[in-house]
Amino acid sequence: MKTHLTHCDATELIGLLKAKKVSPREVSEAFLNAIAQKDPVLHAWEYINQEAIDRQLRKIETLDPKSHPLWGLPIGIKDNYNTFDMPTQMGSPLWKDFTPGNDARVVHYLRRSGALILGKTTTAEFAVHYQDKTRNPHDLERSPGTSSSGSAVAVAADMIPVAFGSQTAGSIGRPASYCGVYGYKPTFGILPRVGVLKTTDTLDTLGFLTKSARDLKLILDASRVHGKNYEYVYEHLDNYSSTPKKSFKIGIIKHPKWHLADHVAKEAFQHFVDKLNPTFFEVEELKYPAEMEKIYEIHGLIYDKTLSYYFREEFKQGTLISPIFHEIITQGQKTTLDAYKQSLQKQACLTLDFHNYFASYDVLLTLTTADEAPIGLTTPDIPDSNLIWTFLGMPTVSIPALKGKHGLPIGVLAIAKKYDDYLLLECVEKIQKENNETL
């Protein structure tokens, strides 16, 4: 056993729990102690309630560990997911102490699998941009990323083994890269969005952050939809067949904002690519389609327009919203309905076109972020490619593989075609193993 439970990943913790080497209560106490010690500085948690935890533990202790895959595992939930026993405040004082009275579908799935919902992690205002509270555990003066920063910091600082987040542009990938953890954004829609704050209908994607590659499939299996009612999920995930000795065809993609990346990050990425074992990885560089450059503008139009629709009441109040949120809504109000509909059509067409364009590759690799975390909690990020993959609905994993010029983490982003999630996770786990668990 490792010297401290909080250093374990989810897979190891579940092994200890099911072997009765440690109880769910002991595990929860270890993480609560870590939170008590670290969170007064890092501010990754929005809400924790001991009575709610005790009620869950009493129920978990009555369940059969053999039939509950996440039995006793503590999990953090971003504060834009509904929880029936905790407030859901969405990073805004306008919704302080709001209690939705129900669980988001994903939270329900996790509890059904035996997980302990330990508490709610911080989010940027309405899961968009503005946050001035949560700190990066590697350097308190640097950004932890937005908007799933609370979840990324909680995992990176050993305050929780797994935490859920959401991504409408780069809100899982960037915090994962800046904080040095795995960040997984699945194929659009395979984690149900019922009971989660809606910001942009065709972009909002749920996902999670972990300490290891092997935890990703474990948590995906417990939180995604299953069955014939979900046609593509049934065909591509429910009936997926693994090929253990598969050699992965890897495409290296230097996206439209690649020129903005720091030269040390680019050198570290190239060194990472050069070390990939040719026995398991066939690597070639590909040229991105010219249409990829248009995605930034189309994404922005859809994003701003839908935010101006869903948050029109908050906007009317004129107070208690940040200047950047006010600016986004003002911009969205200028967009006509026809322009919005045309953008949705372009999104559908480009999603199909890019699926076909990347058909000959198993996985693409690029930098997750352009550099280490920027100094300042509200400093704008250097543009990267995260929103492209969100726009196209393609699954991504940020692998904590690189270090920047100050020794701080930078992620490598692995991308697969829609519904190739299991193939992607197998490739990421193979990369981790090939690097001797050093990533």
User: Which bin fits 116, alpha (ψ -120 to 50), beta or left (φ > 0)?
Assistant: beta
Q: Omega into 143 within 30° of 0, i.e. cis?
A: no
Of these residues, 147, 151, 166, 223, which one is catalytic? 147
Q: Name the catalytic one among 143, 171, 177, 398.
A: 171
Distant-in-sequence, close-in-space partners of 254: CB < 8 Å, separation ≥ 6 = 285, 288, 366
In SS3 terms, the chain reads as CCCCHHHCCHHHHHHHHHCCCCCHHHHHHHHHHHHHHHHHHHCCEEECCHHHHHHHHHHHCCCCHHHCCCCCCEEEEECCECCCCCCCCCCCHHHCCCCCCCCCHHHHHHHHCCCEEEEEECCCHHHCCCCCCCCCCCCCCECCCCCCHHHHHHHHCCCCCEEEEEECCCCCHHHHHHHCCEEEECCCCCCCCCCECCCCCCCCEEEEEECCCHHHHHHHHHHCCCCCCCHHHHHHHHCCCCCCCCCEEEEEECCCCHHHCCHHHHHHHHHHHHCCCCCCEEEEEECCCHHHHHHHHHHHHHHHHHHHHHCHHHHHHCCCCCHHHHHHHHHHHCCCHHHHHHHHHHHHHHHHHHHHHCCCCCEEEEECCCCCCCECCCCCCCCCCHHHHHHHCCCEEEEEEEECCCCCEEEEEEECCCCCHHHHHHHHHHHHHHCCCCC
Residue 315: which residues within 8 A CB-CB, separation 6 or more? 308, 321, 326, 329
Distance CA 77, CA 165 (A): 7
- Helix 295-310 vs helix 323-333: crossing angle, to nearest 10: 100
Q: Judge whether 308 counts as a catalytic residue.
A: no
Q: Say whether 171 is catalytic.
A: yes
Known catalytic membership, residue 223: no
Contact 406, 372 (CB under 8 A): yes
Identify the active-site residue in 38, 78, 185, 418.
Answer: 78
Give residue 6's identity as a one-letter amino acid code.
Answer: T
Q: Point out the residues that are catalytic.
A: 78, 147, 171
